[in-house]
Every structure is written in structure tokens, then in C-alpha cells.
Amino acid sequence: MSVKGILQSGMFYIDHLSSESETDARDIEQFQIDAPEGQGLSDYLKRYARQEEMNRSMRTYLVRDKETDECVGYFSLKAGLISLNEVEVEVEDSATGETRIEREFDTLPGVELANFAVNSDYIKKYPYQKGVGYVIFKKFIIPMIDAVSENVGVKMVYIFALPYGRLMKRYERYGFCRLSDSQEADLHKRLKPRYDESCKFMYLVLE
Amino acid sequence: MATITRYGKPNMTGLPKDLGVSIFKTILSTPAPNFHKMEQEADELERKMKMERERHKANVG
């Protein structure tokens, strides 16, 4: 039996989204997200995912069932970082003992899990299959990011989660952490007055 | 009239000094999750999925 996809688990496999695949086009067209807060994820997949593949600004993967080839979910990854503004630091010259001011700038490299959704139609068809999201995260998303980190500096995986308790708890189950209340409040101040609410920055440190 | 709530992504680049340094410290002092345990949990979930699928097929068939 031929091996399906670029990576497999016990139940599923993934393929990189192809703009030329009719199967991918069909699966994207039929992909369903029932939760109202997930409509942005559905819009992205149907309207923008293939274009962003072609212009290299995102990498999207479709997850399929090994036995039935049904589309189970999708996720998108892109390179990113967080950075400090330039800060002035007093530095002592060890030879002369003199101090001078230097401007420093620091970054933490990461991979953004930009999109992650499970196909509601698949879940409804197989309601006894519990933990599909967790399996996709551990069996595919983490290994894909690990593979990148073998060759490029990656300190963390991060997401910008919609501020719904149920959703953030799910990400915490996957190992993501939140910043403190005061840090989140200070980040939100950088947004207003343009937006009413902030997505929450959540991160997971890699080993 | 229905209200619409708009969600923005916080800008995580060019963080001002005090906030940025505290966020960096928070992230760098957070331990990685137990990936080995997560792997075992994922394997167990898939094992149960397979079992349930076979059971379902046997019931339907």
C-alpha cells in the first residue's frame, strides 16, 4: 500500500495545499466550520489560502483521514518574531573602564500557528472520535515546526487566539501559555482606539 | 441593531522597553511542555479512535 501524504499518524495524514489539485479545491469548497467565531478561518481557507501559498507568505496543510481520505482539518504556519524596541544601554569598556551608551535591539524568533480548524462535517460524521484537534496538533503541527527548527532558529510557537474562554482553554490543553493580566492589558492599549477587543497572544516554548 | 465586536492582533514587534523586557522574561522563563507525555496522549487518542471506528463498523455492518 502506498504511503499517503507527507506525514502520517495512526489515523490521519497531511498534504501541503496545492493550488493545482482538484481534490484540494473540492475539499476547501466543502470545508465547514459551524462555530460563529470560526468564520474567519473558513473565509481564509476558501478565499486566501491558495493565493498566499503562491506568494510564499503562508504554508497551509490539509489533514485527511487515512482510511476514507475525507478532509479532517487544516492548519497554516508562517515565520515570525517578537521584538523589543531599541533601548539605550550603558556599556562599560573593560579595557578603559569608560562607559558609553549603546542602542540595543532584541528578538525572539518563532513560528506563528496562523490558522487551525477542524472540519465540522467530519466531526459530526464521527462524533465518537474524540481529541482530533489534539492529535493534529501533536502529530503534525509540532513535528512540522520541529523540522524547521533543525535549520532555522525557532524559540517558540505562538498564536493570536480569539478571546473566548473555551478556545483559550483548548490551547492551554495543547501546552500554550498566556501572558499576565497586566501584560495583556498593556498590549491591548497599543491597539485602541482602532479595535474593541484584542486577540490574546499565547505561546508555547520549544525544547 | 446588532453590535459588531472587532478583534485586533496585538503588535508584538517594537515592544516598548518595560513591557517588552517583562514579556521576554516571561516567555524565556516558561518551561517547555512535556512533549513525550503529549505524544503518549495523542497515541492513546488515536488508538481509541481506531477502536471506536471498528466497533461502529461492526454495529452498522
Q: Hey, is the C-beta of B13 within 8 angstroms of any chain A C-beta? A: yes
**CB-CB contact of B45 with A130 (8 Å):** yes
Q: Where are the domains of chain A?
A: 7-78+113-153
Residue B55, pLDDT > 90, answer yes
Residues A203, B27: C-beta atoms closer than 8 Å: yes
- Is ipTM over 0.85? yes
* Number of other residues whose CB lies within 10 A of the CB of residue A111: 25
One-letter amino acid at A98 equals E
Element (H, E) at A15: strand A12-16
**CB-CB contact of B6 with A96 (8 Å):** no
At A106, is the pLDDT very low, low, confident or very high (cuts 50, 70, 90)? confident
pLDDT in tens, A32-49: 999 888 889 999 999 999
Contacts of A143 (CB under 8 A, 6+ apart): A7
Q: How far apart are CA B61 and CA B59, in angstroms?
A: 6
Total-model pTM: 0.91
Give the distance between the most distant pair of CA atoms in chain B: 65
Nearest chain A Cα to B16, which residue? A85
Taking residues A79-89, what's their average pLDDT?
85
- Burial zone of A61 (CB within 10 Å; 0-12 exposed, 13-18 middle, 19+ buried): buried
Q: How far apart are CA B11 and CA B24, in angstroms?
A: 14
Residues A194, B5: C-beta atoms closer than 8 Å: no
A150 dihedral zone (left: phi>0; alpha: psi -120 to 50; beta): alpha
Nearest chain B Cα to A201, which residue? B10
Of A140, A142, B58, the residue nearest A132 (C-alpha)? A140
Q: Hey, is the C-beta of A198 within 8 angstroms of any chain B C-beta? A: yes
Residue B4, pLDDT > 70, answer no
Q: What is the mean pLDDT of chain B?
A: 89
Residue A1, pLDDT > 60, answer no
User: For domain A7-78+113-153, is the CATH number 3.90.1150.10?
Assistant: no
Q: Is the dihedral of CA A157, A163, A166, A167 positive or negative?
A: negative
Q: Hey, is the C-beta of A123 within 8 angstroms of any chain B C-beta? A: no
Confidence (pLDDT) at A192:
56
pLDDT in tens, A130-179: 999 999 999 999 999 999 999 999 999 999 998 889 899 999 999 999 99
Taking residues B10-30, what's their average pLDDT?
92
Q: Hey, is the C-beta of B60 within 8 angstroms of any chain A C-beta? A: no
Size of interface A-B (CB pairs under 8 A): 136
